Structure 1
Amino acid sequence: MNSPGSCNLCATWGTITGSGLCYECRSGRYERAKGGLREAVCRRCGWPGIVGADSTCRGCRIAVRLGQDPAWMHAEFERRALPAGRPLQLAVRIEGLALNSNPLRHRAATGPRQKLAPWYRGRVPPALDDPMVCVEEVPGQLGLFAPWPRTFTRAHGKRIRGRTIPDFPEVQAVLKEMAAERRVGQTWHFHTEEGARLALAARPPDERLVHPETLAVLPQMAPTLHEAPKRAGLLAPPRPRLVPSWMSAGLGSCRECPAWANERDQRCAPCLDWGADRQMAPCHRCDRLLPLRDDHCRRCVLTVAETDYDLDGIRLEGGDQLWFGGPLAPHSREGGLYGRRRLQRKRRETIRASRAARPVSEHLALPGQLELFHLPREWTRTTPTGPDPGRPDPAERFLTHIKSRGWDTGRMSGSIRTLRVLLAHLGADAPLPQEDVRLIARRKHFHGACVINYLRVSGRLAPDRHSDAALARARHLADTAPAPFRGPLNRWIDVLCGTAQRPSRPLAPSTICSYLRLAAPPLRTWHEDGVTDLRAVTRTHIEQALEPVQGEAAKSRATALRSLFRALKREKLIFRDPARAISVTTAVVLPRPLADDMLRGTLDRLPNPRDRLSFVLTAVHALSTHDQRHLLLDDLDQSRATLRVRRTGKPVHTVYLDELTYRLARQWLAERHRRWPATTSPYLLVTAHTATDDTRPPVTIEAINKTLRAHGHQAGRLRVDRILNEAQHTDDPLHLIRLFGLSPRTAMKYIHAAHPHRSQSDPIMS
């Protein structure tokens, strides 16, 4: 039922509804239009209710807007908080007259400061004089105690803007002249006036001059405020420094530093601590018998550190600058001077000035110039440098490359530092050898892998002059062989490398080196027996060379000799191949299963998703390390839960993923995208090295086997155990061929190992 009364929300007098609210508050227009309402205590009147964004109720905002509380408005302008409990004048609601209740600020009083509305700034009363700031004293009255040191802030200057201060117009005129001389704006003049007002207001009542000690406690611009009273003739001379009685007990200086310490002892406290655990010896600088550190006494260490980069001109010719002792003495520590920031600043300024006076590098190489002979550079003493001011950053393109790949610049600081040192000493137009990048990367806080990749992609990398180590050892074995065999052996190496007259598929350098090492002993034996030409080698010679060894060693040596004579026959250096019909009988080792308790709990102990996925692919789906290294990202079909395995010379094998493998694959893909979102590697399994390498190499076998070996497993043995376990449940080789993609011969080997009693010899075939 409607009745006259006061609204519970806005405190206006008028017709209210049965809920105790006026029509405007009850209709909800205020809530929808203003928003940000909550139930709290108003910070002005102190009554609980609904407050807005500025923590005031609607009645208080109406009262402030009607001009009923100018002190509150002035406090809002000065950003000061007044205590709650201020009176609230009730307003009368008149039909057709709406009272404005917008918040005074759009945020709470504790938030960042915001500008007030124009209507609000126009109603702010003139600046007041806060009697609590720089309290006026009675002239001629002596103080009972010494004046306490003041601490001024910028707010204190604002609170006495309305005070009339003697001699302030003179200082204000001087500040205007200084502003014109320095060509500064109104903001500088505004801040200096507040400081000058505080300096003049802090004067004793019987004095007209400003003491320099007062200017030291001003919040800002103390040097400027020291110059303004001086020009106006209002600056008092500095008072003499008074030495306390406890410091004047004995006059003299330390006999070691020699700092003026005014102490009774002949040695100051820092020198006593310095010589506590050091031996006496002649100083290399002053030749005095004193305790030394790095062959220098304490005074020489401090002097050298202070005058190392003498920008202030304090170094004396033929002597050293003395200093005070006690609390004013410089302190030292093992790492250097206490207060090292100032010395570091001097060092940086000196280095910056020296760089500006010289070219980018004294070792710049001319583009296109040929070197007379090659010598490896020494990079251990190169100082890490940053980009010179005023000069383009030599690593700017590398930074752009890093950002385009989505890498973290902070983690690439070692690579950026390496490229800057390299370009600063070799020049941007000179070829950048890969050898120098690796030499710089050997130092601490330097990295070279990403730099080599970037230079290779941009076409600015000069490859290493050194060949592969394994291939170099193979050439060395060929050159140290008996003289009649050196030519054929080098031709054999050319065939294995694919660089002979007829093209062929090259083998790995480690395989070539292994072949040379296996063929070296028979060649030496034949030369000792009088064979001077490989065309004279017969089948009997090869059989005699295989007699001293047995088993796998005999099989490996026979393989190397067959490769040698097949290559010589291919190059038409011999008429017939004597090793063509040679065969070596070796025992066939059947696969054996692993113990049942070896695999228990291994999946839970693996550290990251990639290792868990690799373990499941090996132990469940019997994929070898070679298959896992060459799995492409496109081979994983998540919609069908399949994985295609591509093998050279064989059809594509499709692996149907179970629930565990599918979940681990999805976890690894999420981790791969999180760590390397911009990688260009097409392979499913990547590492931190292969993901950032622009040449996009596959992961190494070591990356897959390292974690498994840490838990006592081998990828090959896990694969054999999985296939053998499947063969024990079936004697159908076609099932193994379809499930694991094996060859018929390999499938039959596992069938024979799993069912030896069924592998009886066929009497008809025998």
Structure 2
Amino acid sequence: SDVYKRPAPAHQPVSGWLQPPLFEARRDFTRFDRQEHARLDNPWLAWARHTAHRLGEAHDWPRGVRLDVGRALVIVLSGHVSGEVVRHSEIFPALRSRGLSVQRTVEVLADIGVFQDDRTPSFEQWLERKLEGIASGIRRDVEHWARLLHDGGPRSQPRDEATAWGYLNRIRPVLLEWSVRYGHLREVTRDDVLTQLDALHGSQRRHTLIVLRSLFGRAKKSGTIFKNPTSRIRVGQHEYGILQPLEPEHVNNSVAAVAKPADRLVLALAAVHAARSGAIRRLQLDDLDIGNRKLVIDGRVRPLDALTLHVAREWLDHRRYRWPDTANPHLLINKFTALGTGPVSAVSLTTPLRGQAATLEQLRVDRQLEEALSHGPDPLHLAEVFGLDAKTAIRYTDSARALLEQAAEQQLR
């Protein structure tokens, strides 16, 4: 079929004056019949097929993906005319029922400027559910605060989506209880806050107070309350336990559990360089300098040890053989991200060590503790080597000092 041949060069169709539509007419692509509806000479389809070929070559799409996108474009653009938009809600049922790639088709449609994403963001759906049952006056302040956490504002940076979720989930029971008695946050008193906090202990009490301070602080800045009822309520100092080194058998089990080149590199980055999973996912190819034996992790240059150098070379050989033409600049890729330019998911890093006593995070912590034990409990040294903040570096040195004192006492005995 002509759909599967290399498309001829094409350009954006020239559009003249367009009659604005009188009303919105949504199309049902699930009823598409190839023999009846396919119009392979449509100029928009020709341009889209040429664009898909260009994107496929740039991102090394497998042949199966290219064929799927070609079929999808025939379905979506055979009857397309200038001025129309293709909505996600229109194409998703038709392509998904046929097993065609929605994501790659959307990339092509967006590139030629005819795609409209009419999906409701997951955060909006989640927020609507969480605000249900909260008094309208309280709800307005909470909604404004939650959106600022998620989206940011003129004087505030957006927080991670998980932070916004965690904050609202933490205080939702409190807000529901207050909604029974009050219609606005300005009615909440200091005694109301203390009553809620007295029923909590430890980290739950501290976290709840931190979140309430954030909410009432924002409402005070917005002028919707006159007095902040959380003022001068002390959070209290969190007492950390002594960090303990991992057992050698646990480390050995984790080493034995990783078999793929990418997983071995991830393990080395966490266990040798104490790299967080987010930093590992963000690593670019340019951050790895094999010739000079250097590695840049979140802007901090580290020397490449023999182990990391070996597994890095092993991974690069595998990456070059498996995806020779990928345009993804990240050091770590997989069969999904090789088709684009984004990082691998956090789950793909943690899955190989699922069920192990020594996880990536524990290996990272163990490496920093080991540095404090071998070099001496010096927070300045830890901050310089791993880029830790002062409080975290002091926590590691306190644990190392306690472990060294315990070892000295046992020797004396």
How high is the TM-score relative to the length of structure 2?
A: 0.81
1:311-326 equivalences in 2 (<5 Å)? none
From the CA coordinates, give the structure whose radius of gyration is larger: 1
For the 8 Å contact 1:474–1:512, the answer to whether it is kept is no
Match of 2:130 among 477, 481, 485: 477
Change (3 A) 1:667 1:435: farther
Query: Partner residue of 2:68?
Result: 414
Query: Partner residue of 1:746?
Result: 392
2:263 maps to amino acid: D
Change (3 A) 1:477 1:731: closer
1:690 correspondence with 2:344: no
Residue 644 of structure 1 aligns to a residue whose secondary structure is: strand
For the 8 Å contact 1:367–1:431, the answer to whether it is kept is no
1:570 correspondence with 2:221: yes
- Between the aligned partners of 1:511 and 1:445, the Cα distance in structure 2 is 35
Query: Partner residue of 1:655?
Result: 302
Change (3 A) 1:384 1:698: farther
Structure 2 unaligned regions, length at least 5:
2-17, 407-413
Residue 687 of structure 1 aligns to a residue whose secondary structure is: coil
2:329 maps to amino acid: P
For the 8 Å contact 2:373–2:404, the answer to whether it is kept is no
RMSD: 3.2
Question: What CA deviation, in whole Å up to 9, does each residue of 1:206-231 have, x standing for no partner?
Answer: xxxxxxxxxxxxxxxxxxxxxxxxxx
Bigger helix fraction = 2
1:350-499 equivalences in 2 (<5 Å)? 369=21, 371-372=23-24, 377=28, 379=30, 382=32, 391=41, 394=46, 396-397=49-50, 398-424=52-78, 430-443=84-97, 445-467=99-121, 469-498=122-151
- Between the aligned partners of 1:409 and 1:726, the Cα distance in structure 2 is 49
Match of 1:559 among 207, 210, 217: 210
Match of 2:362 among 698, 701, 717: 717
- Between the aligned partners of 2:106 and 2:355, the Cα distance in structure 1 is 31
With a CA cutoff of 8 Å and minimum separation of 6, indicate the structure with the bigger relative contact order: 2
- Between the aligned partners of 1:571 and 1:423, the Cα distance in structure 2 is 48
Change (3 A) 1:406 1:521: closer
Match of 2:233 among 568, 577, 582: 582
For residue 452 of structure 1, report the CA deviation from its aligned partner.
2.0
For residue 459 of structure 1, report the CA deviation from its aligned partner.
2.7
Change (3 A) 1:493 1:734: closer
Query: Partner residue of 1:541?
Result: 192
- Between the aligned partners of 1:370 and 1:707, the Cα distance in structure 2 is 56
1:160-171 equivalences in 2 (<5 Å)? none
Change (3 A) 1:472 1:580: farther
For the 8 Å contact 1:385–1:421, the answer to whether it is kept is no
Report % sequence identity.
27
For residue 399 of structure 1, report the CA deviation from its aligned partner.
2.6
For the 8 Å contact 1:433–1:461, the answer to whether it is kept is yes
2:286 maps to amino acid: D
Change (3 A) 1:417 1:385: farther
- Between the aligned partners of 1:685 and 1:367, the Cα distance in structure 2 is 49
For the 8 Å contact 1:624–1:719, the answer to whether it is kept is yes
- Between the aligned partners of 2:331 and 2:403, the Cα distance in structure 1 is 42
Change (3 A) 1:688 1:712: farther
For the 8 Å contact 1:432–1:460, the answer to whether it is kept is yes
- Between the aligned partners of 2:175 and 2:217, the Cα distance in structure 1 is 16
Residue 301 of structure 2 aligns to a residue whose secondary structure is: strand
1:626 correspondence with 2:278: yes
For residue 728 of structure 1, report the CA deviation from its aligned partner.
2.4
Change (3 A) 1:429 1:533: closer
- Between the aligned partners of 1:551 and 1:712, the Cα distance in structure 2 is 26
For residue 613 of structure 1, report the CA deviation from its aligned partner.
0.7
Change (3 A) 1:602 1:451: same
Report the count of equivalent residues. Answer: 384
- Between the aligned partners of 1:759 and 1:581, the Cα distance in structure 2 is 38
For residue 740 of structure 1, report the CA deviation from its aligned partner.
1.9
1:608 correspondence with 2:260: yes
Structure 1 unaligned regions, length at least 5:
1-347, 349-365, 647-651, 761-766
For the 8 Å contact 1:434–1:464, the answer to whether it is kept is yes
